[in-house]
Structure 1
Amino acid sequence: MRATARSRPRSPGRRPHPVDEVLPAGKLAVYGVQHVLAFYAGAVIVPILLAGAIGLSERELIHLINADLFTCGIASIIQSVGFWKVGVRLPLLQGVTFTAVSPMIAIGLAAGGGTEGLLVIYGAVIVAGLFTFLIAPWFSNLIRFFPPVVTGTVITIIGLALLPVAAQDAVGGGSAPDPTSARNLAYALGTLAVIVVIQRVFRGFTATVAVLIGLVLGTGVAWLLGDASFAAVGESSWFGVTTPFYFGWPKFAGAAIVSMIVVMLITAVETTGDVFATGEIVDKRVGREDIARALRADGLATTIGGVLNSFPYTCFAENVGLVRLTRVKSRYVVAAAGVFMILIGLVPKAGAVVAGIPHPVLGGAALAMFATVAVVGIQTLSRVDFHDHRNVVIVGTSLGLAMFVTAQPDVARALPPWAQIVFGSGITLGSITAIVLNLVFHHVGKDFGPAVAGAPGTPTIRLDQVNRMSRDEFVAAFGRLFQGPTDVVARAYDRKPFADTTALRTAFQEALFAAPREEQRALMAAYPDLGGDRVADGDEGEDSREDQAAAGLTRLSDDDRSEFAELAAAYRERFGIPLIVCVREHPARAAILREGRRRLGNSPAQEHAAALIEIAKVANRRFEDLVAEANPITTARAGAFGTGAR
């Protein structure tokens, strides 16, 4: 199902998707406030950094913050509610992209700093926003270059790269960090502990507002102990409006525009990752048109930002983590948060209240939220075929470079200004690396595919070779997965081409269960008795001998051999087939005997199904052997960490 508002009319009584559910006003308000609190610090940091770098006054900074919050609200409503072909209509909150900070500072200083530099920045922001809006459909056509190996890597990087931001807040914030402060540690870990305890103890509404409760309780304790101040509330005015072109008409400079367009292209990659992450969280498929809608919203919001004295906008990963943590999927919650941000932007006193949340308290909540983004990425990567070493290289290299830049951000200073845009952010560098390596390994040149079969001293069979095999060659390569007849393997051949090893494995399983009953019975009859002499002597084939040797059934004592022979005879008499058990999953002989005796009480139909399942398990284990033999280096590496295929 696509995440669009142009859904088909619902039949009476049909429940909408959780994304499209309109919650009661009270819940919308509480959940919306929670999003605002989680988002606020990240929202205002960009104008604070920019103002300090290009020499703006305190009064100008206050206006920038108000304008930023006001426009954040508008942008979030556009993205979550949407209209026409604008807005992805997912619970995605919009904020100023951190990727633009360094380029905007460079543009502003090059233009002389102060408000003069600000006008050149706004000119570049407006043009870059329009550019993004117009190229959205073409960029979305590139969605085929964002398979799970790319999106999972990008989502994981987003979560991991944001954790240092949370850690910085947890020790006091960027302006006054103090990692040795026991109070900072207590506030951060205390807030995190409150969130975890509420998630464990409570259910329903209380569990979904765990972050909000943690922030309120943490701030309350800090205020009682004198570590939180709300003095700025009394000093702030009640009402303030941001007017278009407040600082003057924008100025347009070619170099500045090009720089900002590059920023927006990079931001489009990050937005794509956030949209995929949110789609995973809310269980809604993301398609090409959804990416186009999201990017149009980014472009429109950025253009509006340039007009209303703000900056480039993108989806905020912080709030993606909050959606995952709370499991509240309604996009109208984000729309409610957008309304609150507009109000905060119009009421400086309200902004001052939110600004009173101590950094360590915010950092404790952020640790939980950002880590959940990484978890979503790991979940996506679980669908990646890591038997294909190319995917290992893509994920490993991208994560490595992203964490390198995140841990050592000053390395960007050694590079030219244009390169600092890429190397100044771990998210940006890691995302671009994942995309480029995926192109190089999977879309450029010959695609050999992963190794899926082979053994020492024999040629390795790769996936592309499997897809070119004749039926006879395919049966010869994979006939050993099943005992006796090869009809099932021949049926699996009809499911070519195979995208990866998972698809190949699935083809064998589906062919087994879809086979006619007579064919299934013939296959069952070919399997040897457990603990029989023919298996121990190798007369039933090396695969059967290895299977049963895993449980010691080829080295039975006379008493054990008699027990297995009696069970086999009783089973054959009742069901007409040998007892089939995947002994690798039941390594204890006593457990195998108990399982066999228990199954003697099954009905013939039930036991037919049970035997098929055991055959599928045996075939799956043998398939893992084939892949392991074809990938000895990968298998050895996995085995060193206790994560082998078996």
Structure 2
Amino acid sequence: MSGSEATGSESDSVVLYDIEDKPPLGEAIPLGIQHVLAMFLGNVAPPLILAGAVGGVTGQTTFLVQMALIVAGVATLVQVFPIGPVGAKLPIVMGTSFAFLGPLIGIGNQFGIAAVFGASLLAAPVEMAMGLTLDRFRNYFPPLVTGIVVMLIGLTLIPTGMNYAAGASAGPGAAGYGSLANLGLAGLVLVVTVVLNQFFEGFLRVISVFVGIVVGYVVAIAMGMVDFAAVASAGWLTVPTPLRYGLAFPPSAVLTVAFLYVITGMETIGDISGTVSATGRDPSREELRGGLIADGVMSAFGAVFNALPNTSFSQNVGLVNFTGVASRYVVGIGGVVLILLGLVPKVGAVVSAMPDAVLGGGALILFAMIFSSGARIITQNVTLDHRNSTILALSMALGLGVAFRPEILQNLPTEVQTLFGSALVTGGIAALVLNVVIPGGGVGTGPTEYTDGLAPETPTNMQEDIPDSGTSPTPIDDD
């Protein structure tokens, strides 16, 4: 194995570069850019949508997008290189959270844009408190629950990846949706990425997603599918302006956002677990605590600088598992790139000109890998006896059920529809409640106890006995 040895069985680790490894700069820079490409549109889409939906920020799209990039970059650096207890010291990429978007649009239209940022600021301590009380709080999030949350994250992102692959993030009905040109571009990116990752070794395998997207972008330019008009009109420098829209604190808005912070806290626990599982171990309490506190602190920071709440980005969890590069220094480079893109709109415009279909080809792979990461958490830590199988099956059914048939909630209040129409919310809460109320339990279903700040070794069950079976979510380095 190329990276430093992870805690736990070596057969459980899929990393080429471990968390503290420092790849050569010539490799680390494109690997960091690869992380930016994986999350770029997901990070800028919420402010784009908000600007179009809330009248108070009409015409402010470019400014909101640049603030989202800068805040995401700073938040990522804090996760990678902690400031005291703030930060996980892990390869966690931060960005604008889609979970807040719908409710915040409603808050903005009802109370004004100042309430969007005021509620995000005032409610942010909820997630900080989750981190500070982790020893008690985490008892409710054993591997069974976190694994379900991670799988739901991946499954619920796949429709987004399909929309991008079809050429229109807005979904069916948009111009060009599902055209042969868009599907061909997405297919090209997917094929190039998979071929490089599965049939090549070394650096080409590690950077497969980046190469796939670059190939797709070049082909899209040759096909005349890229419009560089926005690049020509973009400026060269953006100056961050704190509290540009002011702050307001309507109580109902604050309570709504506070509940959403609890949900994204669950997502962050899942993302951290999914990232660390690539190294063959479970996250330590310090990593989980620092990650949650950083989520809250940096969301408050974002509210001051006119950005929506930030959280860990799940697609980058998939990238870590897919490439085997878990180096936090690589992700730190990605954070610097995000800040530079935010400060220089013209450079960011080049990236944002990329057709959706190009990103969609790579995104589909990454979203699917998030699901595999959640499955690994469960298979390596949980005995799927009758009790645990019931919790797994019912939680997934309820979560995906409301996603497939949101009409089932149409007779409930709008606020309830918004919250429980999310597969992550419904499935995650179902797993949480069922794990508490159903008696019994098996290996790995209860709270994990730590004696030295690190998680115990995980079971090595299937992968040692069935080498090269194709069941490993990511390629294992034969070295």
> TM-score interval w.r.t. the shorter chain?
0.7 to 0.9
Q: Does 2:123 correspond to 1:124?
A: no
Structure 2 match to 1:280: 277
Deviation per residue, 1:432-486 (Å, 9 max, x gap)? 11111111114xxxx3x58xxxxxxxxxxxxxxxxxxxxxxxxxxxxxxxxxxxx
Q: Which amino acid aligns with 1:269?
A: M
1:148 equivalent to 2:143? Answer: yes
* 1:42-61 equivalence runs, <5 A: 42-56=42-56, 59-61=59-61
2: CA distance between counterparts of 1:285 and 1:385? 13
The alpha-carbon distance between structure 1 residues 22 and 385, as it changes in their structure 2 partners (threshold 3 A), is closer
Q: 1:415 aligns with which of 409, 412, 415?
A: 412
**Structure 1 contact 171–177 (Cα < 8 Å) conserved:** no
Q: Which amino acid aligns with 2:145?
A: V
| Aligned equivalents of 1:268, 1:110: Cα separation in 2 | 26
**Match status 1:366 vs 2:348:** no
Write the letter of the residue equivalent to 2:335.
Answer: G
Q: Which residue of 1 aligns with 2:308?
A: 311
Q: CA deviation at 1:139?
A: 4.0
Residue 250 of structure 1 is matched in structure 2 by 247
CA contact (8 A) 2:72 2:335 kept: yes
Q: CA RMSD in A?
A: 2.1
Alpha-carbon spacing, 1:282–1:423, altered in 2? closer, same or farther (3 Å): same
Letter in 2 for 1:186: G
Q: Is the 8 Å Cα contact of residues 140 and 291 (structure 1) preserved in structure 2?
A: no
Distance 2:131 2:23 in 1: 31
C-alpha distance in 2 between matches for 1:55 and 1:48: 13
Q: How far 1:145 moved relative to its partner?
A: 2.3
Q: 1:56 Cα shift?
A: 4.5
Counterpart in 2 of 1:383?
380
Question: How far is 1:59 from its partner?
Answer: 3.2
Take 2:38 and 2:70, find their aligned partners in 1: how far apart are those partners? 16
Contact residue 149 and residue 381 of structure 1 kept, 8 A: yes
> Gaps (5+ residues) in structure 1?
1-15, 112-116, 451-501, 507-646
Q: Is the 8 A contact 1:95 1:316 kept in 2?
A: yes
Q: Distance in 2 between matches of 1:414 and 1:270?
A: 28
* CA distance in 1: counterparts of 2:227 and 2:161, whole angstroms: 21
> 1:421 Cα shift?
4.1
Who is 1:228 aligned against? 226
Determine the structure 2 residue equivalent to 1:85.
85
Q: Name 1:75's counterpart in structure 2.
A: 75
Superposed displacement of residue 159, structure 1: 1.2
> Which residue of the partner structure matches residue 183 of structure 1?
181
Residues 78 and 412 of structure 1: CA distance in aligned 2, closer, same or farther (over 3 Å): farther
SS at match of 1:369: helix
Cα distance between partner residues in 1 of 2:36 and 2:154: 19
Q: CA deviation at 1:120?
A: 0.9
Write the mapping of 1:478-493 to structure 2, written as runs, cut at 5 A. Answer: none
The one-letter amino acid of 1:240's match is T
Change (3 A) 1:395 1:304: same
Q: Does the 8 A contact of 1:156 with 1:378 survive in 2? A: yes
| Residue 197 (structure 1) shift | 0.8
With over 3 angstroms needed to count, the CA separation of the structure-2 counterparts of 1:256 and 1:236, relative to structure 1, is same
CA distance in 2, matches of 1:393, 1:228: 49
Compute the displacement of 1:305 (Å). 0.6
| Structure-1 residue corresponding to 2:290 | 293
> Quick one: distance in 2 between partners of 1:278 and 1:387?
22
Matches of 2:194 and 2:224 in 1, distance apart?
Answer: 25
User: What whole-Å deviation, never above 9, does each CA across 1:60-86 have from its counterpart, x for those lacking one?
Assistant: 111110101110001111111112111
Instruction: Show the counterpart of 1:424.
Output: 421
User: CA offset at residue 57 of structure 1?
Assistant: 5.0
Structure 1 letter corresponding to 2:41? A
Query: Is 1:39 aligned to 2:34, yes or no?
Result: no
Tell me the equivalent position of 2:96: 96
Check 1:203–1:99 CA distance in 2 against 1; reply closer, same or farther (3 A cut): same
Cα distance change on mapping 1:398 and 1:212 into 2, 3 Å: same
Cα pair distance change 1:159/1:140, threshold 3 Å: farther
Per the TM alignment, residue 412 of structure 1 is displaced from its structure 2 partner at its CA by: 5.1
For the 8 Å contact 2:130–2:137, the answer to whether it is kept is no
> Aligned pair 1:207/2:202, yes or no?
no
Contact 1:148 1:384 in 2 (8 A): yes
Asked if the contact 1:158–1:427 (Cα under 8 Å) also holds between the matched residues in 2, the reply is yes
Residue 340 of structure 1 corresponds to: 337
Cα distance in 2 for residues equivalent to 1:98 and 1:255: 20
Q: 1:172 aligns with which of 156, 167, 176?
A: 167
Gaps (5+ residues) in structure 2? 1-15, 443-457, 462-479
- By how many angstroms is 1:158 displaced? 1.2
Letter in 1 for 2:370: V
Q: CA deviation at 1:22?
A: 2.5
Paired AA for residue 69 in structure 2: L
Q: Distance in 2 between matches of 1:184 and 1:376?
A: 28
Partner letter of residue 344 of structure 2? V
Larger Rg: 1
Q: SS of the residue aligned with 1:296?
A: helix
Which amino acid is 1:158 matched to?
Answer: I
Taking the TM superposition and a 5 Å limit, the aligned residue runs for 1:465-504 are: none
Tell me the SS of whatever aligns to 1:90: coil
- Superposed displacement of residue 214, structure 1: 0.6
SS class of match (2:236): coil
Aligned in 2, Cα 1:41/1:412: closer, same or farther, shift over 3 Å?
farther
CA apart distance, 1:359: 0.7
CA distance 1:387–1:129, shift in 2 (3 Å): closer
Of 148-157 and 19-28, the range deviating more from structure 2: 19-28
Secondary structure at 2:307 match in 1: coil
- In the TM superposition, residue 132 of structure 1 has moved relative to its aligned partner by 2.3
Q: Deviations over 1:208-239 (max 9, x none)?
A: 11111111110111110111222211110011
Alpha-carbon distance, 1:428 to partner = 2.1
The two structures have a TM-score, normalised by structure 1, of 0.63
| Equivalent-residue separation in structure 2 for 1:174 and 1:328 (angstroms) | 28
Output the CA distance in 2 between the equivalents of 1:316 and 1:180: 26
Q: CA deviation at 1:99?
A: 1.2
How far does residue 142 in structure 1 lie from its aligned partner after superposition? Answer: 2.3
Residues 322 and 185 of structure 1: is their aligned pair in 2 closer, same or farther, counting only changes over 3 Å?
A: same
